[in-house]
Amino acid sequence: MGAKMVNSINTNAGSLLGVRNLQRTNSLQAKTQNEISTGKKVNSAKDNAAILSVAQLLKADVAGLNSVKGSLDRAISTADVALSAGDGISNLLLDLKEKAVQAADPGLDDASRLALNDEFTALRDQISSLVDGASFNGTNAIASGGDDISAVTGADGQGAVTIQSQDLSLGGPNVTLGAAQDISSASNAQAAVSAIEDSISNLSSALSEIGAGANQLQQTKEFTEALSNATEEGISNLVDADLASTNAAFEANKVKEALGIKALSIANSQPASLLSLFRQP
Protein backbone atom coordinates (compact mmCIF):
# COMPACT_ATOMS: atom_id res chain seq x y z
CA MET A 1 0.00 0.00 0.00
CA GLY A 2 1.49 3.36 -1.00
CA ALA A 3 2.39 6.08 1.51
CA LYS A 4 -0.34 8.54 2.20
CA MET A 5 0.45 12.15 1.48
CA VAL A 6 -0.58 14.55 4.21
CA ASN A 7 -1.18 18.10 3.14
CA SER A 8 -0.45 20.55 5.95
CA ILE A 9 0.37 24.22 6.14
CA ASN A 10 1.94 23.81 9.60
CA THR A 11 4.49 21.16 8.77
CA ASN A 12 6.21 20.79 5.40
CA ALA A 13 8.05 17.45 5.66
CA GLY A 14 9.56 17.81 2.18
CA SER A 15 10.95 21.22 3.03
CA LEU A 16 12.45 19.95 6.29
CA LEU A 17 14.11 17.07 4.48
CA GLY A 18 15.40 19.44 1.84
CA VAL A 19 16.88 21.74 4.49
CA ARG A 20 18.65 18.83 6.18
CA ASN A 21 20.09 17.59 2.89
CA LEU A 22 21.22 21.07 1.94
CA GLN A 23 22.85 21.59 5.33
CA ARG A 24 24.68 18.27 4.96
CA THR A 25 25.88 19.27 1.48
CA ASN A 26 27.00 22.70 2.74
CA SER A 27 28.93 21.02 5.57
CA LEU A 28 30.69 18.70 3.12
CA GLN A 29 31.41 21.63 0.82
CA ALA A 30 32.91 23.64 3.69
CA LYS A 31 35.16 20.67 4.50
CA THR A 32 36.37 20.30 0.93
CA GLN A 33 36.97 24.06 0.70
CA ASN A 34 39.07 23.89 3.85
CA GLU A 35 41.06 20.96 2.44
CA ILE A 36 41.69 22.85 -0.79
CA SER A 37 42.77 26.05 1.00
CA THR A 38 45.08 24.27 3.49
CA GLY A 39 46.12 21.28 1.43
CA LYS A 40 45.34 19.05 4.41
CA LYS A 41 42.55 16.64 5.16
CA VAL A 42 43.33 16.69 8.89
CA ASN A 43 43.69 20.21 10.27
CA SER A 44 42.44 19.74 13.82
CA ALA A 45 41.38 17.10 16.30
CA LYS A 46 37.75 17.38 15.18
CA ASP A 47 38.77 16.15 11.72
CA ASN A 48 40.45 12.99 13.05
CA ALA A 49 41.86 13.04 16.58
CA ALA A 50 43.70 9.72 16.30
CA ILE A 51 45.44 10.60 13.01
CA LEU A 52 46.34 14.06 14.30
CA SER A 53 47.91 12.56 17.43
CA VAL A 54 50.04 10.18 15.37
CA ALA A 55 51.05 12.99 13.02
CA GLN A 56 52.10 15.22 15.92
CA LEU A 57 54.31 12.46 17.32
CA LEU A 58 55.91 11.98 13.92
CA LYS A 59 56.48 15.73 13.61
CA ALA A 60 58.27 15.62 16.95
CA ASP A 61 60.49 12.85 15.55
CA VAL A 62 61.26 14.98 12.48
CA ALA A 63 62.18 17.92 14.71
CA GLY A 64 64.53 15.64 16.64
CA LEU A 65 66.05 14.30 13.44
CA ASN A 66 66.66 17.86 12.22
CA SER A 67 68.63 18.50 15.42
CA VAL A 68 70.57 15.29 14.83
CA LYS A 69 71.44 16.43 11.29
CA GLY A 70 72.69 19.74 12.68
CA SER A 71 74.84 17.95 15.24
CA LEU A 72 76.24 15.59 12.59
CA ASP A 73 76.99 18.50 10.23
CA ARG A 74 78.98 20.27 12.94
CA ALA A 75 80.89 17.10 13.78
CA ILE A 76 81.63 16.37 10.11
CA SER A 77 82.91 19.91 9.59
CA THR A 78 85.10 19.63 12.69
CA ALA A 79 86.54 16.33 11.44
CA ASP A 80 87.13 17.83 7.97
CA VAL A 81 89.07 20.71 9.49
CA ALA A 82 91.16 18.29 11.55
CA LEU A 83 91.87 16.10 8.52
CA SER A 84 92.78 19.11 6.39
CA ALA A 85 95.23 20.30 9.03
CA GLY A 86 96.58 16.75 9.36
CA ASP A 87 97.25 16.59 5.62
CA GLY A 88 99.07 19.90 5.86
CA ILE A 89 101.20 18.59 8.72
CA SER A 90 101.98 15.44 6.71
CA ASN A 91 103.23 17.55 3.81
CA LEU A 92 105.31 19.68 6.15
CA LEU A 93 106.92 16.57 7.65
CA LEU A 94 107.94 15.42 4.18
CA ASP A 95 109.53 18.83 3.50
CA LEU A 96 111.23 18.75 6.91
CA LYS A 97 112.67 15.31 6.23
CA GLU A 98 114.15 16.53 2.98
CA LYS A 99 115.87 19.43 4.76
CA ALA A 100 117.05 17.21 7.61
CA VAL A 101 118.52 14.57 5.30
CA GLN A 102 120.44 17.29 3.42
CA ALA A 103 121.72 18.74 6.69
CA ALA A 104 122.82 15.29 7.93
CA ASP A 105 125.52 15.22 5.25
CA PRO A 106 128.79 15.55 7.24
CA GLY A 107 130.48 17.16 4.26
CA LEU A 108 128.02 20.05 4.11
CA ASP A 109 129.53 23.47 4.71
CA ASP A 110 128.36 25.58 7.66
CA ALA A 111 126.72 28.28 5.57
CA SER A 112 124.58 25.76 3.70
CA ARG A 113 123.61 23.97 6.91
CA LEU A 114 122.64 27.30 8.51
CA ALA A 115 120.42 28.14 5.53
CA LEU A 116 118.82 24.69 5.72
CA ASN A 117 118.29 25.12 9.46
CA ASP A 118 116.49 28.44 8.92
CA GLU A 119 114.16 26.79 6.42
CA PHE A 120 113.71 23.80 8.73
CA THR A 121 112.69 25.87 11.76
CA ALA A 122 110.25 27.91 9.67
CA LEU A 123 108.58 24.73 8.41
CA ARG A 124 108.63 23.22 11.92
CA ASP A 125 106.82 26.23 13.36
CA GLN A 126 104.15 26.00 10.66
CA ILE A 127 103.08 22.70 12.23
CA SER A 128 102.21 24.55 15.44
CA SER A 129 100.29 27.15 13.45
CA LEU A 130 98.27 24.45 11.69
CA VAL A 131 97.46 22.71 14.97
CA ASP A 132 96.41 25.94 16.66
CA GLY A 133 94.21 26.93 13.74
CA ALA A 134 92.44 23.57 13.35
CA SER A 135 89.40 24.64 15.35
CA PHE A 136 85.76 24.57 14.23
CA ASN A 137 82.90 25.84 16.35
CA GLY A 138 85.24 25.92 19.34
CA THR A 139 86.40 22.31 18.94
CA ASN A 140 90.02 21.45 18.17
CA ALA A 141 90.55 17.71 17.87
CA ILE A 142 94.31 17.76 17.11
CA ALA A 143 95.66 20.12 19.76
CA SER A 144 97.43 18.97 22.91
CA GLY A 145 94.59 18.15 25.31
CA GLY A 146 92.18 18.61 22.39
CA ASP A 147 88.47 17.88 22.33
CA ASP A 148 86.80 14.71 21.13
CA ILE A 149 84.46 15.13 18.17
CA SER A 150 80.98 14.00 19.14
CA ALA A 151 77.52 14.06 17.56
CA VAL A 152 74.13 12.91 18.79
CA THR A 153 72.50 10.24 16.62
CA GLY A 154 69.03 9.63 18.09
CA ALA A 155 65.92 11.78 17.59
CA ASP A 156 65.29 11.37 21.33
CA GLY A 157 68.73 12.73 22.20
CA GLN A 158 70.11 9.28 22.93
CA GLY A 159 73.10 7.70 21.20
CA ALA A 160 76.24 9.36 19.89
CA VAL A 161 79.17 8.94 17.54
CA THR A 162 82.48 10.01 19.06
CA ILE A 163 85.88 10.47 17.41
CA GLN A 164 88.75 10.49 19.85
CA SER A 165 91.01 13.53 19.66
CA GLN A 166 94.51 13.02 18.27
CA ASP A 167 97.35 15.16 19.61
CA LEU A 168 99.31 16.32 16.56
CA SER A 169 101.28 19.04 18.33
CA LEU A 170 105.08 19.12 18.19
CA GLY A 171 106.69 16.87 20.80
CA GLY A 172 103.43 15.02 21.34
CA PRO A 173 102.66 11.29 21.14
CA ASN A 174 102.19 11.39 17.37
CA VAL A 175 104.44 14.14 16.06
CA THR A 176 107.49 13.33 18.14
CA LEU A 177 109.58 16.01 16.45
CA GLY A 178 110.28 18.53 19.19
CA ALA A 179 109.18 22.16 19.13
CA ALA A 180 112.82 23.20 19.53
CA GLN A 181 114.34 20.58 17.21
CA ASP A 182 116.86 21.98 14.76
CA ILE A 183 119.36 20.71 12.20
CA SER A 184 122.23 23.05 13.06
CA SER A 185 124.62 20.10 13.18
CA ALA A 186 124.91 16.79 11.39
CA SER A 187 124.00 14.88 14.57
CA ASN A 188 120.98 17.10 15.22
CA ALA A 189 119.90 16.61 11.65
CA GLN A 190 120.19 12.82 11.97
CA ALA A 191 118.13 12.89 15.16
CA ALA A 192 115.54 15.03 13.37
CA VAL A 193 115.32 12.52 10.50
CA SER A 194 114.58 9.71 12.97
CA ALA A 195 111.92 11.78 14.80
CA ILE A 196 110.32 12.84 11.52
CA GLU A 197 110.09 9.27 10.25
CA ASP A 198 108.40 8.19 13.48
CA SER A 199 106.10 11.21 13.24
CA ILE A 200 105.05 10.37 9.68
CA SER A 201 104.14 6.82 10.70
CA ASN A 202 102.27 7.95 13.81
CA LEU A 203 100.47 10.70 11.90
CA SER A 204 99.18 8.24 9.33
CA SER A 205 97.59 6.12 12.07
CA ALA A 206 96.12 9.16 13.83
CA LEU A 207 94.56 10.53 10.64
CA SER A 208 93.17 7.08 9.83
CA GLU A 209 91.33 7.16 13.18
CA ILE A 210 89.82 10.55 12.43
CA GLY A 211 89.03 9.56 8.85
CA ALA A 212 87.22 6.38 9.92
CA GLY A 213 85.17 8.41 12.40
CA ALA A 214 84.36 11.01 9.75
CA ASN A 215 83.15 8.26 7.42
CA GLN A 216 80.89 6.91 10.18
CA LEU A 217 79.49 10.39 10.73
CA GLN A 218 78.74 10.77 7.01
CA GLN A 219 76.99 7.39 6.86
CA THR A 220 74.94 8.28 9.93
CA LYS A 221 73.97 11.59 8.36
CA GLU A 222 72.81 9.88 5.16
CA PHE A 223 70.71 7.41 7.17
CA THR A 224 69.26 10.24 9.26
CA GLU A 225 68.30 12.21 6.16
CA ALA A 226 66.64 9.13 4.63
CA LEU A 227 64.75 8.47 7.86
CA SER A 228 63.65 12.10 8.10
CA ASN A 229 62.42 12.09 4.50
CA ALA A 230 60.51 8.85 5.03
CA THR A 231 58.92 10.20 8.20
CA GLU A 232 57.85 13.42 6.50
CA GLU A 233 56.37 11.39 3.66
CA GLY A 234 54.45 9.35 6.24
CA ILE A 235 53.08 12.52 7.81
CA SER A 236 52.01 13.72 4.38
CA ASN A 237 50.17 10.47 3.72
CA LEU A 238 48.33 10.86 7.02
CA VAL A 239 47.25 14.49 6.93
CA ASP A 240 47.66 15.90 3.42
CA ALA A 241 44.63 16.04 1.15
CA ASP A 242 44.47 14.31 -2.21
CA LEU A 243 43.74 17.50 -4.11
CA ALA A 244 42.57 15.69 -7.22
CA SER A 245 39.95 13.77 -5.26
CA THR A 246 39.12 16.81 -3.15
CA ASN A 247 38.55 18.94 -6.24
CA ALA A 248 36.29 16.26 -7.71
CA ALA A 249 34.31 16.18 -4.45
CA PHE A 250 34.11 19.97 -4.48
CA GLU A 251 32.59 20.00 -7.97
CA ALA A 252 30.17 17.19 -7.04
CA ASN A 253 29.07 19.07 -3.94
CA LYS A 254 28.40 22.16 -6.06
CA VAL A 255 25.99 20.12 -8.17
CA LYS A 256 24.38 18.63 -5.05
CA GLU A 257 24.03 22.10 -3.60
CA ALA A 258 22.29 23.40 -6.73
CA LEU A 259 19.98 20.40 -6.78
CA GLY A 260 19.27 20.78 -3.07
CA ILE A 261 18.29 24.41 -3.52
CA LYS A 262 16.02 23.41 -6.41
CA ALA A 263 14.46 20.59 -4.39
CA LEU A 264 13.92 22.92 -1.43
CA SER A 265 12.27 25.45 -3.71
CA ILE A 266 9.88 22.79 -4.99
CA ALA A 267 9.12 21.59 -1.46
CA ASN A 268 8.44 25.14 -0.29
CA SER A 269 6.00 25.69 -3.15
CA GLN A 270 3.85 22.71 -2.21
CA PRO A 271 1.83 24.48 0.58
CA ALA A 272 0.66 27.01 -2.00
CA SER A 273 -1.07 24.18 -3.86
CA LEU A 274 -3.45 23.84 -0.89
CA LEU A 275 -5.04 27.11 -1.91
CA SER A 276 -6.56 25.37 -4.89
CA LEU A 277 -8.69 23.35 -2.49
CA PHE A 278 -10.47 26.52 -1.42
CA ARG A 279 -11.18 28.01 -4.80
CA GLN A 280 -14.81 28.48 -5.69
CA PRO A 281 -16.06 26.13 -8.40
**Region 48-239: CATH code:** 1.20.1330.10
The type of residue at 48 is N
Residue 100 scores a pLDDT above 70: yes
> What share of the chain in percent tops pLDDT 70?
71
Measured distance CA(155)–CA(66) in Å, rounded = 8
- Convert the pLDDT of each residue in 180-197 to its tens digit: 999 999 999 999 999 999
- Which own/partner contact pairs does 68-71 have at CB distance under 8 Å and 24+ positions apart? 68/151, 68/152, 68/153, 68/154, 68/155, 68/224, 69/221, 69/224, 69/225, 69/228, 71/151, 71/152
- Convert the pLDDT of each residue in 216-234 to its tens digit: 999 999 999 999 999 988 8
Measured distance CA(107)–CA(87) in Å, rounded = 33
Residue 73 scores a pLDDT above 60: yes
- Convert the pLDDT of each residue in 196-220 to its tens digit: 999 999 999 999 999 999 999 999 9
Average pLDDT estimate for 228-251: 73
**Kindly report the CA angle at 249 between 246 and 253, in degrees rounded to 5?**
140
Measured distance CA(18)–CA(260) in Å, rounded = 6
**Residue ranges per domain, the chain?**
13-39+242-278, 48-239
- For residue 136, the cross-strand partners are 139
- Convert the pLDDT of each residue in 79-90 to its tens digit: 999 999 999 999
> Between residues 244 and 3, which one has the greater pLDDT?
244
